[in-house]
Each structure stands twice: as structure tokens, then as C-alpha cells.
Amino acid sequence: MSRFEFERLAVPDVIVIKPAVFGDARGFFSETYRKNEFAEVGITEDFVQDNHSRSGARILRGLHFQIVPQAKIVRAATGRIFDVAADLRPGSPTFRKWVGTELSDENMHQLYVPPGFAHGFVVVGDSADVCYKVGPTYYVDDTERGIRWDDPDVGVDWPVGDPLTSERDRTAPSLADIEPQLVSWFGDLGRG
């Protein structure tokens, strides 16, 4: 019996993961990760770290990425977020394209963000706790980079007007500014 449904988005390397949820009057039970079933759809990274963040209403975090390629599996443990992945792999047919989906404690969906993608989210409710697995590398401060959350070359259609962002996210470079470095960071990622 499969414990998950996997849905590829318009950028097919990004996958929505829909776990089976077993509930009754006492509550629910759901698996959030199962290595063998994820591997069947190509999610094969060795996830080495779990992270947890809390954000208030209209908080937007992103668009962030690591220059040492790192994948993520993201879920909203509480609340609702609009979660986004933008393809930064210069050799990819979906380079500069983004996809987004709602993740919430109600739908229990997760988003697989492959290496070579920028990631961000905005809280669309009062608050949200966001949990995510990362791998195959650990997070290291000096390998994190970002692009502007409102970069016109990416064109994310955020569902929250006037989001609250950090100074770092407001002053991040544009994709055009960092594009010359992408090949050295992401090499052949995204080439069939």
C-alpha cells in the first residue's frame, strides 16, 4: 500500500507530496517521509538535517538557496503558507521558471525542492510553523545566497500584497546580477 501520492508541477522536478492521513475522533496519524517510496519518484537525496521555523502573518522568507546544491522537503506543521521553488539551473529547460503551492496543517502536503532551486514562502494565515528536511549537505552560513523575492526575471505571483520581509531579503541581488555565477555553482544540474 502506497502511503503517498506524488504530483509533479509545471516545473516537473518539483513534486508535491500528499501523504495518506489516518484519522478518527482522537486525531490523526500520517507518515511524513519514507525513503523507499520517495526514491521511486526520484527523490533520492540523503537528508541530513531537519529545520523548523515560525513566522507570523504576511512574513515572506526567500528566495534562498545554497551554492553547495541542497534539496529540501518542506511542510507546514501549523498554519498555511504559499511555498515557491524557482529554477536557477542554467542548463535546465525550465530555467527562471517558478512554481508554487499551498502547504497547510489541513492539507498536510509537502513540497520537494530539488538542488539548484531557490526556495521561499509567505504566510497566508495568522502564523505558520514550517518544517523542512535538507540534504545531502548540512546547512552552512557562508554557502547561503538569495535573489530578490520580487525579481521581475522570475516573476513570482505572491498571494499576499505588501509582505513583511527581512532587510537581507529586500536587498538581495537580482537573478541577472548572479546569473554569471550559476554555472560554477550548479554545473550540469538540470541537463537531461
**Range of 15-24, 114-123, 183-192 with top mean pLDDT:** 114-123
| Residues facing 166 on adjacent strands | none
pLDDT digits (tens, 9 = 90+) for 27-40: 888 889 999 999 99
33 is catalytic: no
How does residue 64 score in pLDDT terms, banded at 50, 70 and 90?
Answer: very high
pLDDT mean across residues, the chain: 94
From the candidates 109, 112, 119, 132, which is the catalytic residue? 132
Which region among 30-34, 111-115, 133-137, 166-170 has the lowest average model confidence (pLDDT)?
A: 30-34
pLDDT digits (tens, 9 = 90+) for 81-108: 999 999 999 989 999 999 999 999 999 9
Q: Which fold has domain 4-21+43-186?
A: Jelly Rolls (2.60.120)
52 is catalytic: no
By C-alpha distance, which of 32, 110, 116 is closest to 71?
116
> Residue 69: helix, strand or coil by DSSP?
coil
pLDDT digits (tens, 9 = 90+) for 149-173: 999 999 999 999 999 999 999 999 9
Give how far Cα 15 sits from Cα of 24, 110, 131, Å: 28, 8, 16
Read off the pTM: 0.95
Q: Is 168 left (phi over 0), alpha (psi -120 to 50) or beta?
A: alpha
What count of other Cβ atoms lies within 10 Å of the Cβ of residue 153? 12
From the candidates 33, 52, 64, 119, which is the catalytic residue? 64
CA 3 to chain centre: 21
% of the chain beyond a pLDDT of 90: 86
C-alpha span between 172 and 167 (Å, rounded): 8
| Residues facing 9 on adjacent strands | none
Domain segments of the chain as ranges? 4-21+43-186
User: Average pLDDT, stretch 45-54?
Assistant: 97
